[in-house]
Amino acid sequence: MAGTLQTLILSPATSATVRLRPRNARFSSHGDRLSVRPVNIGPHRSISPPVRASGASPGQVGGNDYAPKIPGKVKAGNPFSKFVADNFLPLALIGGVALGLANPTPGCLADRYYLSKFSTFGIFIISGLTLRSGEIGAAAEAWPVGMFGLGSILLFSPYFSKLILQIQLQPQEFVTGLALFSCMPTTLSSGVALTQVPFSISKFIADGVGVTVPTKQLFKSLVLTLLIPLILGKILRESFRGLADFVDNNRKLFSRISAVFLSLVPWIQVSRSRSLLLMVQPAMFLVAIGTGTVLHLILLASNAFAIQCLSTVTGGSQSVFAKKENANAALLVASQKTLPVLVAVVEQLGGAFGESGLLVLPCVAAHLIQIIMDSFLVNFWLRKDAASDSLKVA
């Protein structure tokens, strides 16, 4: 099972159900289908996480920056094909790493022609093309939940980078990469979340590693690399109705294209750093993976506690935070971090924090851990809802 948060749709306390639908990710199960997509709380990586639970989405990627959709009915067919379809993003990322380690020459050639920059641009173009205006409106109606998510993403989770930097690992890039990862917004978000990234890196990480970050330059680069493509994709969607219909009817295809774009990143970075990666002790890499896992667990627990407290003090069962769809979506998107934005940041920094391949690799692993852990969580919710529905019918 796999999935990633991408566009998240929150619903107001009195409105209809929230639609969780992923882009780059999907969770598989044998129940209903749960979809989540990153919600733009500022604008997009918004509460934006794309989690998608589906039997057959978004990331976020970006992605593609890439939050859940409820798994649908299992269709009969080739078990292998179904497995690949259900786990396309994780398999693509793992495949990229494996190819880079097996033969670095093609990856180094791709890097020479700036293919990674093209892939990042493509991830966010797709994010804009698949961003529905109705989803933005639904999220706006549940603005208190969106504000909570924004606060957690921008103000709370970056502080964990200070703790991560205290860990002693060789190579040091593993630690720095995870610290950078903790400063990232939730799956493919942009806008306010994106604008905060350069300042978070400068405040929480640069001093810890003895590096000066050109904040203004990094901000401009991220706007050009991430925000402009996202806006361009959205403009194209709104300008051509036929294009919007085509994208909506082929969301799985665009989700997989985005996953392929994202997988190019670890392929290129691992190819460039292959000789250094082969010198890393496996135990060090396992510690880095464990650190990423613990970070995600802490964020899940902290955000779950905060949501419960906010629900209690803002009206109890009548609170917008008490609505199950809103609470679940906010929990996922506020606890996930995005790989696409991290990759863009690492590239823009140009090696200021160390070898890019060593910075990115533990974050790829942490991204996969998020997908796996959250897929279990989403399927737990699905089974719980199914059991509740059965009791009501009885």
Question: What is each CA distance from 291 to 115, 121, 189, in whole angstroms?
Answer: 30, 30, 23
What's the pTM value of the predicted model, to 2 decimals? 0.69
Return the pLDDT at 124: 86
Return the pLDDT at 106: 93
Return the pLDDT at 187: 56
Whether the CB-CB separation of 19 and 52 falls below 8 Å is answered with: no
What are the structural domains of the chain? 7-393 (1.20.1530.20)
Q: Give the residue among 64, 239, 72, 46 at the shortest CA–CA distance from 135.
A: 46
The pLDDT tens digits of the residues spanning 228-278 come to 888 899 999 999 999 999 999 999 999 999 989 989 988 998 898 888 888
Return the pLDDT at 195: 58
Please, which residues have CB within 8 angstroms of residue 100's CB and are 6 or more apart in sequence?
Answer: 107, 266, 267, 268, 269, 270, 271, 274
Q: Give the residue among 392, 369, 362 at the shortest CA–CA distance from 171.
A: 362
Q: Give the residue among 47, 30, 109 at the shortest CA–CA distance from 271.
A: 109
Burial zone of 170 (CB within 10 Å; 0-12 exposed, 13-18 middle, 19+ buried): exposed
Return the pLDDT at 27: 41
Distance CA(306)–CA(336), nearest Å, equals: 16
Q: Name the H helices within 228-281.
A: 228-239, 241-249, 251-272, 274-277
Return the pLDDT at 194: 57
Return the pLDDT at 34: 39
Which stretches of the chain drop beneath a pLDDT of 50?
A: 1-76, 188-192
Return the pLDDT at 19: 42
Please, which residues have CB within 8 angstroms of residue 33's CB and are 6 or more apart in sequence?
Answer: 53, 54, 55, 69, 70, 71, 72
Return the pLDDT at 48: 40
